[in-house]
Amino acid sequence: MAIFYAILIILAIFQILPLVWLLFFSLKNNQEVFNTPLLALPSPPRWENYVKVWVEGDIGRYFFNSVWITAVSVIFTVLLASFATFALTRMNWRLKHVVLGMFIVGLMIPVHSTLIPLFGFFTKLQLIDHPMSIILTNIGFNLPITIMILLGFYHSLPRELEESAIIDGCSVHRMFFQVILPMTSPVIVTTTIINMIYNWNEFVFVNTFISSEQYKTLTVGIQNFIGQYTTDWGAIGATLMISVLPILIAFFFLSDKIVEGITAGAIKG
């Protein structure tokens, strides 16, 4: 058992080291980045890098865009996936197996292979350089994995609850929102965190569909500190640290819920 814990500690250290390196990296200037050891703390630490990216680099706007685009995408993805999973697992209709198969096929499509077709599609809808293009893309590509995670949990729910609700005169809509949805809160938290990570870190679609500074997110805003002749590495490190913190904080406080949601539907009864 001691060897097992020792291995886990070593693995944890390897997982934490990149975050420590990024923190030290964000507190250096260009000269220190290349002339000091990787894990050496600069003297003095240059906290002004964070002030610079927030004030001069307009990171505040990019941060706000990342927050609201991620929030809207996550809410609609989880809600639509819950609707679809409820219909696929708790209702009987003719084409439900075909629809489920289509969602499974969605898992097999390489996301960025659709970049050119989506660009043409959004151009026709006049959604290029509009945040709706990113939101629709996030929802479309995250729906299949979200439904797959929800399926196991929905299959484990006892049907007696629905039968009791129907006997009491509950409609399908009320049964979903007042009975089923509250019971699925553990797995909903799991899918919310997973979707949040995917949406927050999205770069290629944002870089392709969004050109104006008004709608850029953090992942794309980092490019502002990369010039043709000079690059402010400390500012880039500070921006990366700011972009990583929300995900780290959310995962730190909700990690138990994530594990609970993933394993909740594994065992029936």
Q: For the segment 180-210, what is each residue's pLDDT rounded down to a tens digit?
A: 888 888 889 889 988 998 999 888 999 999 9
Bridge partners of 226, per DSSP, are 231
Return the closest-CA partner of residue 127 out of 207, 217, 198, 210.
Answer: 210
CB 148 within 8 A of CB 111: no
Number of domains within the chain = 2
Does the residue 269 lie in any domain?
Answer: no
Please indicate, yes or no, if residue 64 is contained in any of the structural domains: yes
Are residues 113 and 29 part of one domain? no
Residue 76 domain flag: yes
Q: Do 154 and 238 have their domain in common? A: yes
- Among 29, 20, 77, 71, residue whose Cα is nearest residue 49: 29
Whether residue 157 is found in the same domain as residue 193: yes
126: left (phi > 0), else alpha (psi -120 to 50), else beta?
A: left
User: What is the rounded average pLDDT of the residues 56-60?
Assistant: 80
65 and 37 belong to one structural domain: no
pLDDT digits (tens, 9 = 90+) for 15-26: 888 888 888 888
Predicted structure pTM score? 0.83
Do 35 and 66 sit in the same domain of this protein? Answer: no
The predicted pLDDT at position 227 comes to 64
Q: pLDDT band at 262, cuts 50/70/90?
A: low
- The CA distance from 53 to 243, in Å, is 12
Q: Given a cut of 60, is residue 264 above it in pLDDT?
A: no
Residue 142 CB neighbour total at 10 angstroms: 24
Q: Do residues 5 and 103 both lie within one domain?
A: no
- Rounded to the nearest 10 degrees, the angle between the axes of helix 185-200 and helix 59-90 is 140
Q: Residue 248: inside a domain, yes or no?
A: yes
How many Cα atoms sit within 13 Å of 264 on the Cβ side?
23
Domain match, 122 and 170 both: yes
Q: Is position 180 within any domain?
A: yes
130 and 79 in one domain? yes
**Could you tell me if 34 and 82 lie in one domain?**
no
Domain annotation covers residue 96: yes
Structural domain of residue 36, as residue ranges?
1-46
**Mean local confidence (pLDDT), 130-138:** 95
Pair 184, 240 in one domain:
yes
AA identity, residue 268:
K
Helical residues (DSSP H) of 109-130, grouped into ranges: 115-124
The answer on 23 and 84 residing in a single domain is no
9 and 84, same domain (yes or no): no
- Is residue 215 a contact partner of residue 131, using CB atoms and an 8 Å limit? yes
Q: Which residue has the tokens 């609970």?
A: 260
